[in-house]
Every structure is written in C-alpha cells, then in structure tokens.
Structure 1
Amino acid sequence: MALVFGSCVANGEYLGGGRELTGNPTVFDITHFGAVGDGRTNTFKAFLKAWIQVCASPVPATLLVPRGNFLAGPIIFAGPCKSHVTVNVQGTISATTSGFATPEWILFERVDNVHLTGPGTIHGRGEAVWATDGCGKKFKCNLPPTSLKFRNIVNLEVSGISSVNAKAFHMFLVKTVNVNIHNIKIIAPAESPNTDGIHLSNADNVKILDSFIGTGDDCVSVGRGSNNVTVERVICGPGHGLSVGSLGKYPNEEDVSGIHFRNCTMRNTDNGLRIKSWGGSSPSKAIDIHFEDIIMENVKNPIIIDQCHVWLNLPGLTG
C-alpha cells in the first residue's frame, strides 16, 4: 500500500510531498514543505526540501511556487536529476537584501532538461542595495549577486517569467548548451548599476526571442566562448543596448562566433549595437556577427565598435 499526501488536482497530479500513483508528472508545492508566502518568512529551506523530491523523481516532476510572495535567501537547484524538471513560478520569489554569501541568488547547476516558467516574478530587490553595493563606475567594489544563474546545463528553457530589480545581472548563462529563452520580461530602472539583462559566457546554441528587456546596463551581452546565439524580436530599453563583449579580459579566451541580432527594437537606450573589448586584451576572435532589421528610437550612440573599453578596465569591474 502506498500513502500519498497532498491535494489532488483535476489532471490527476498531486501537490505536496507524496508521489503520485499513476506515473504522470508529480507536482511538489513548496507550501507543503513549509513555505509561507507572506513576504517576510525566509523560505529557502522549503525550496531545498521540494527540490530534493523533484530532482529524485524518476518521472518528469515540477516544483511549484504558488501565488504569494515568498522571501528566500540563496537557492541552489543542483543536479544531476533523474528526469526532466520544471520550476513553475506562479507567485513572486523575493530576495533577501543582506548577507550575500554567494555570487548568485538563484543557481541552477548540472541540471539537464530543465524548464523555468511563469507567469510569476523573480524580484531581486536591488533597489535596497544599489546605492551602497552597486558597482557603477567605482574603482573597487563587490558585485552583488546575480538573480538567476545557469551553469553546466544542457537543454534549458526559460519562459513566461519576469525578473525585476536584480541586484546585479538579471540572468547569467555559463557553460550552458541548447537554450531557449522566450516571452520573458526583465525590468530595472535606467540608473540601476550593472543590471545586465542576459549575459552569456561559454554558452552555445542560445535563442533569446520575443521578450522585453529594460534595465540599467546591456540588455543582452554575449561574452567569451559563446557560439550560435540568436536574439530576435527583443525590445530593449532603457539600457546600454545589445552587445558583444566585453571580450579579452582573461588570457586565452575562447572565440565568439555565429551571433545574430534580428528584428529587435531599441528605445531610449544609451547605445544601440555594440562590440566591445578591453584595452590591452588577450587575442581571440569575434567572427560571423550579424545585426539585421534593427529599429532604433531615441538612441544616443546607434553603433559602437570599441576596442579600448577604458573605464571598465579596472580592478573589480566585470564590464
């Protein structure tokens, strides 16, 4: 006899800590693991407990964040997992504003075949720390955490979510292959420091489609070792534009190739289309880069190719 704890829903799945009996995907609701959506109670332990069940499931499983405002410190979704996993954010996940123990707030690592979906919100609460912890153009600084980081992942989909007021980068892809990001919103004020929308490093076969990105730094920045990247039907603004780079910061950087920006709209941005490298940078190639059918409205610097990105060539800054 098997005991199943949780609430039965219409499609035969179960919400909670027990496993379903039919072999269909299982849904694990974080509130069944102690999460309280009051915006004040730190729920990171509930995320961890739910994730352990999702990752161990032999059939595709879902971690559900229902409606409510769930405060959480650093969250690590680590694999490998036994099957396809989904994180479905219906409500809001809000970051704590102090005690930054890790360089990222929400980390997905070594999890293949993962889908992060909305329509909920990832709220970094960066407005609480930008004045004191944001790097801006400071000579030395400690960059606050990235809101969403994906590292060492094959087959990633991100859709339907909103990322609001990240402390630093909104989304960072590193050593990640086969990525489909679509129908998302990234929002932060124009004056928010280092709040890149989506930054890529050693990321291959990436599509960023049908999305709105308005932030205080690059809307999309394609960094070292990234190949076969398509950015299409993205509205950018405010922000620093659509960028390749900064490149050449590190010795022996991998080449960048096959970068396509198509049918994008730039509104009220500092820059439009930009390729940038550090002054005195190490040798590497940036080839096969295409900008096509780009609309620019009230853009200060429509096209920039900068091989001496001087003010960022300082200790502690990422560019």
Structure 2
Amino acid sequence: MGIIGIRTATLLLAALAWRSVLVAAAGEADGVFNVKDYGARGDGTTDDTKAFIDAWTAACGARGSSASLLVPAGKSFLVGPARFSGPCTSTRITVQVMGTITAPPPGAWSGQNYWMMFYQVQGLTVTGGSTGLLDGRGRSWWWSDKFNRYGDIYKAPTALVVMNCTDVELSQFSSKNSPQMHISVSQSSKVHLTQLTTTAPWDSPNTDGVHIDRSQDVRVTRSTMGTGGECVSIGPGSRFVTVDGIVCGPGRAVSVGSLGRKGATESVEYIDVKNVQFINTSSGATIKTWQGGKGYARSISFTDINFTNVDRPVVINQFYADPYHVPNMGRWR
C-alpha cells in the first residue's frame, strides 16, 4: 500500500474510532439512552421535556431486541406534558425511572388531560426502585379557584397514561400527589402493574391509584395505595382484570364502575379481586352504575377481603351520582 493509501486508512480508522466515542457518549453503544446525554439538566427548574422526548425517540428507534431509557438517580427532572409514542423498533423498551420526575405548574399544560402518556407501544416496561418517583404536584390543582373539587376537577390531568399498548409492565416506582388519577390503563391489553405505591391526601379529589377502562388481561398486584379516590377503579369495557394483594387506604374503594353514565350501554366482566386490605377507607368492595344506564356487570368476585375502620365495607349502588358535582357527597363515593 502506498503512502496515500496508508494515510487514507489511518484517517478512516480515526474517524471510526471518533464515531464510536460519540455513540458511546450518547448511550447508544449498549442500548441505554440516558436523558442527560440528550440535554436534561435534572435541576428541578429547567424544562427537560425535549430531552426526554429526544431520548425516547432514540431508544424507540434503536435496533436490537431491547433498548432502555434511563432517568438517573439523584436528580429531579421537570417534564411535561409529554407523549411517548410507538410503535418501536426493538421488541422490548424499558424506561428506568431511578430519579424524580416532577410535573410543571397548571399554567404549562395548555389543555392536555395527561401528564405523561405511552401510546401504541408494544413490549413496554416502566420500572424504578426505591428512588423512582413521579411527583404530580397536585396541590396546585386541587384547591385553586379554577379547578375546585365540585366544578372543573375533570379538567385536571391524569399523571401516567398507558393507551393502545400491549404487553406492558409497570413496577417498582412511586407516584404522589397526581393532579387527578395517578395511573390510567386505557384500550390496552396484557398489562401488569406490580409493587407500586401511590399516595395523595384523603381529601384530594379523584386521585385514583389505578384506573382501568376498555382494557383486558390486566393485573394489579402487590401494591400500596392511599389516595383521595379509589385505590383501583375498573371502568367500562374492561374484561379479565385481576386485583391481588393490595393495601388500600386512606381513600375509597376497589370499585367496578361507574357504568352507564347518560344512559350509555356498557359492560364489565370477569373481574377477580382478592387478598385486599382496606384500612381507614370510606368504602370497600364496590359496584356502581348510573340510573338509566344499560348493559351488564357480571362474573365479578371479591374474596379474602379484610376491613379495618371502613365506613361501608360492601357497596352495590345502582343510583350512582357523581360526588364531585354534588356538594357534601365526597365521602359517599
């Protein structure tokens, strides 16, 4: 090889080596995409939404059998609202929430009804550990004049939404003070929620721990939920739902419904609720339907349920009225 050929080869090798350094710096070499490598500051005040979206886009588009988006420990990331959309290239994508993700104040939402959403993702894991936390900063929503508990609370966003997804696991992280529901599973299948902790004051409006609607093959297991709404609510169109090993309280119930609002035809079936401890709740095992609604709620079982200081352990209500629009009914939901 001539001198020119040697120099060309040397330059080519140097370029490849430099590219390898850049790839490794972005976290792509091992399939882990750290949000800090995409510009996230993690100081609790800088808006890190774009960095999270960019890291998700890179992880979702990565080739191979799996990819991970990492939210590192020891940092607080101000994010949202944010939508993480699929489908993704890899067969399994994992979001590792090791630090804190903090919601912005109400003025930053521009009408969105969710804080963070995973949409049309197949093969998703969202997991954390002892340090993984979603902080919805709900107090700025609950008691403001604009979002009062008997007026416009349904405009407040849900913290984490899983929509149109398949083969999902949410595990080992905490969610506190969601503006409205902590976690919503909608129009999804094969979803397992386990070892989760959701917390909010007992009088915070509609802060359900987990809400499920129009979904099937959903399991909620080994979790602790103390909120101002239901610990688990199973809404219209849900089938084959298991709730097992939940500690519920303070809060309201594990409920099926409400069903049939404004005369709608709805159905819920094959629901198995077991090994639940209700502690200091206003209600326990609950089924509720609106007057004038149509459809059915069938094949529902509540077994091995324990009650401690529960106002109404079992409630079957076929004349349900929304407590957040009827004054002085908050404890009777």
TM-score strictly above 0.5: yes
Q: Distance in 2 between matches of 1:260 and 1:274?
A: 13
Q: Shift of residue 97 of structure 1?
A: 1.1
Aligned residue in 1 for 2:20: 4
Matched-pair contact (CA < 8 Å) for 1:39–1:71: yes
Q: 2:306 aligns with which of 276, 286, 295?
A: 295
Q: Distance in 2 between matches of 1:313 and 1:249?
A: 15
Q: Shift of residue 307 of structure 1?
A: 0.7
Identity fraction in percent: 37
Amino acid at match of 1:49: D
Kindly tell me: are residues 223 and 5 of structure 1, through their superposed partners in 2, closer, same or farther at Cα, counting changes over 3 Å?
farther
Q: Shift of residue 130 of structure 1?
A: 0.8
Helix, strand or coil: the match of 2:214?
A: strand
Aligned residue in 2 for 1:41: 46
Q: Deviations over 1:261-288 (max 9, x none)?
A: 101100000101110011222x111000
Matched-pair contact (CA < 8 Å) for 2:116–2:161: yes
Helix, strand or coil: the match of 2:164?
A: strand
Q: Deviations over 1:55-111 (max 9, x none)?
A: 101121000000210011211110111111110000000000122221000000001
Kindly tell me: are residues 66 and 141 of structure 1, through their superposed partners in 2, closer, same or farther at Cα, counting changes over 3 Å?
closer
Q: Does 1:194 align with 2:206?
A: yes
Q: Distance in 1 between matches of 2:249 and 2:153?
A: 26
Deviates more, 1:196-205 or 1:304-313: 304-313
Amino acid at match of 2:128: G
Amino acid at match of 1:115: T
Matched-pair contact (CA < 8 Å) for 2:72–2:99: yes
Helix, strand or coil: the match of 2:59?
A: helix
Matched-pair contact (CA < 8 Å) for 2:213–2:235: yes
Q: Shift of residue 185 of structure 1?
A: 0.3
Amino acid at match of 2:38: F
Q: 2:227 aligns with which of 215, 218, 228?
A: 215
Q: Does 1:17 align with 2:33?
A: no
Helix, strand or coil: the match of 1:233?
A: strand
Aligned residue in 1 for 2:272: 260
Kindly tell me: are residues 125 and 305 of structure 1, through their superposed partners in 2, closer, same or farther at Cα, counting changes over 3 Å?
same
Aligned residue in 2 for 1:115: 125
Kindly tell me: are residues 250 and 51 of structure 1, through their superposed partners in 2, closer, same or farther at Cα, counting changes over 3 Å?
farther
Q: Distance in 2 between matches of 1:6 and 1:195?
A: 43
Matched-pair contact (CA < 8 Å) for 1:118–1:161: yes
Amino acid at match of 2:305: I
Aligned residue in 2 for 1:27: 32
Q: Distance in 2 between matches of 1:298 and 1:77?
A: 41
State the aligned residue count: 303
Amino acid at match of 1:113: G
Q: 1:170 aligns with which of 166, 182, 189?
A: 182
- Two-structure CA RMSD over aligned residues (Å): 1.9
Q: Does 1:156 align with 2:172?
A: no
Amino acid at match of 2:49: F
Aligned residue in 2 for 1:11: none
Name which one, 1 or 2, has greater alpha-carbon Rg. 2
**5+ long unaligned stretches in structure 1:** 8-13
**5+ long unaligned stretches in structure 2:** 1-15, 327-332
Aligned residue in 1 for 2:141: 129
Matched-pair contact (CA < 8 Å) for 2:260–2:266: no
Q: Shift of residue 310 of structure 1?
A: 2.0
Q: Shift of residue 314 of structure 1?
A: 5.5
TM-score by length of structure 2 reads 0.87
